[in-house]
Amino acid sequence: MPLGILVPVLYLDHAATTPLRPEAAAAMAPFLGGEFGNPSGMHAVARRAKNAIEDARDRVAGVLGARALDVVFTGAGTESDNLAVAGVALAEGRRGGVVTTATEHEAVLATARHLERLGCPLTVVPVDGHGVVDPARVAAAVDAGTAVVSVMAANNETGAVQPVAAIAAALAGRGVPVHSDAVQAAVSRPCSLDDLGVDLLTLSAHKLGGPQGVGILAMRPGITLAPVIHGGGQELGRRSGTHNVAGIVGAAAALEAAVTDRKRLIDDVGAARHRFEVDLTRAVPDVVFTIAGADRLVQHSHWRIPGIDAETLLVRLDGIGLAASAGSACHSGAIAASHVLAAMGLAPADAAGCVRFTFGWDTRPEDGTTAAGLVAAAVGGLR
């Protein structure tokens, strides 16, 4: 019997990765076929690849409010976070500590803990019950030994939006660069350097409808980075390694398409999430939405049903054609305890029941009603 691929009836795990936008696929196509040059070469084939990368860099810079030479292409959003935090903290003449929050992505937290082992002080600022940090507490944690502050624009698990612009304003004039991981927020909110008021900004192509394996780091002029990957000196010595030409071209196309399509996405996703949460509440009255009263990304719905384990529910949903998750998809394999929910004060038993539904660019308004029906059916079966 031939093997086939079962396509989910409904995909609601866009915070993990998104389907490729047609604009990105079209931009990538030539570089997955006849165009194959290494942009570090000197001949015509290489120059065409180099020109494609520099065109993509110009376009990304235009969207993010950066100079083209201050845009660095990396292999992932995780790598961009590593480069932003460690690159600034270890830069020549600047070596110092990190101030961040308890709910950051592990790409930031693990990097900060590694730097701490190297002698760079680390301060992790707590958050409130909605997962939001107080800008005054972040500013108070910064001292003469702080090299960089890193606060994500919005949380990848819950969708909680952080007051990044207020944090940047509170630190203005103190000479400490502020970095923000905007990987999730950029899907539905303006996230240029000026929008957030930050000095360094991380994006990931595959969260925006681009290809997997391409990260972006945009910076203000004058930021100096110590590389975290050493080799041939590509990206002006900031990130060595042969460029992923097709991926970079696709990333630029996806970013532009996401900006152009943002209002439509917000409308459709907002309608879908609203229908989902209203219909699910009617069908399962004891459902608990984690941060329903806080500022959150329109594409996120994070919730639990008392007495229902998340992993059990997700397996049941997968079996009836709905793909979702319990949190970050960056852990390998089984569901891990969420440091985000622990930092928010959720009891371990409650955290173990939390499910994350994330809608995306291909979501239709009616998908919310469909999803609620599938969840209600799954819960009914489990109960």
Concatenated DSSP letters of 18-61: -PPPHHHHHHHGGGGTT----TTSSSHHHHHHHHHHHHHHHHHH
Q: Catalytic site residue 120?
A: no
3-state class (DSSP) for residue 356: strand
3-state class (DSSP) for residue 382: helix
User: Which candidate in 120, 191, 330, 354 is catalytic?
Assistant: 330
- Read off the DSSP letter of residue 187: G
Those residues whose C-beta lies under 8 Å from the C-beta of residue 320, and which sit 6 or more positions away, are 9, 374, 377, 378
Best CA proximity match to 374, nearest among 329, 331, 325, 323: 323
Sheet hosting strand 300-304, strand order edge to edge? 288-289, 300-304, 354-358
Q: Which residues of 66-94 are buried (b: 16+ CB within 10 A; e: fewer)?
A: beeebbbbbbbbbbbbbbbbbbbbbbeeb
Best CA proximity match to 292, nearest among 304, 306, 282: 304
Those residues whose C-beta lies under 8 Å from the C-beta of residue 381, and which sit 6 or more positions away, are 316
CA end-to-end distance (rounded Å), the chain: 35
Q: Where are the beta strands (DSSP E) in 256-317?
A: 288-289, 300-304
Could you give the dihedral angle defined by the CA atoms of residues 185, 190, 195 and 197, in that order, rounded to the nearest 10 degrees?
20
CB atoms within 10 A of CB 382: 13
Gap between the Cα atoms of 101 and 141, Å rounded: 11
Q: Are 161 and 153 in contact (CB under 8 A)?
A: yes
Return phi, psi of residue 252, to 5°: -65, -45
Residue with tokens 């960089």: 148
Active site residue ranges: 330
